[in-house]
Amino acid sequence: MMQHITRFLANILSPLLAPSYGVFLALWVSVICYQPLGTRMAVFLVVFGITFVIPMFFINILHNFKIIKDWYLYDRKERIYPYLSVIACYIAAAFYLNHVHAPMWLIAFAIGGTLTCIVSTLINFKWKISAHSAGLAGLVALLFHIHFEGLEAFNTFWLIRIMIILCGLVGTIRMYQNQHNLWQVIAGFIN
């Protein structure tokens, strides 16, 4: 039972979903929330497609051609091609956000995600780093920025607390699943 719960939580807190969660938060808790609902939904769905659907499609192709053994990328050496596809998709998301005239801080969030993926990819050649921790740390940073720059539509400090708790939870889950050790989780969060 615990395996099912931890697998479920690791999946919904997947690093591939972090950009979508970040854009969702930006569109619904920052001053951007005053934009029309249809506009916000369209932006969210396009970012979700670019940063989650396309990489998952690519990972599925790699799995079908036996280039990777499993969808969870447990083997550090199998992460290179999926990471490169994610980097390309994050760059595309940043260009898309720029195209729709998103605020610079939201474009910077996408660029930051891209840089985090690049650093994770380079580290991954020698050592396994927690992409789950890196993804959630990016969400914490985004919420801090929204809160402390006065970009929030309402007080988001409680969201920051929840996100920090989720960071601890996902790190614990990844260690429980024997996917990472404490240093790999901490390195992911710092990344």
pLDDT in tens, 162-191: 999 999 999 999 999 999 999 999 999 998
pTM above 0.95? no
Give the model's confidence band at 115: pLDDT under 50 very low, under 70 low, under 90 confident, else very high. Answer: very high
**Residue pair 30/152 in contact by the 8 Å Cβ criterion:** yes
Instruction: Give dist(CA 41, CA 26) in Å, integer.
Output: 12
Give the model's confidence band at 1: pLDDT under 50 very low, under 70 low, under 90 confident, else very high. Answer: confident
> Would you say residue 73 has pLDDT above 80?
no
| pLDDT tens, position by position, 39-70 | 999 999 999 999 999 999 999 999 899 888 88
Look at residue 72 in the predicted model and tell me its pLDDT. 72
Look at residue 156 in the predicted model and tell me its pLDDT. 92
Handedness of CA 149, 13, 91, 184 (dihedral sign): positive
- Encoded tokens for 146: 């929204």
CB neighbourhood size of 70 (10 A): 10
Look at residue 77 in the predicted model and tell me its pLDDT. 82
Average pLDDT, the chain: 94
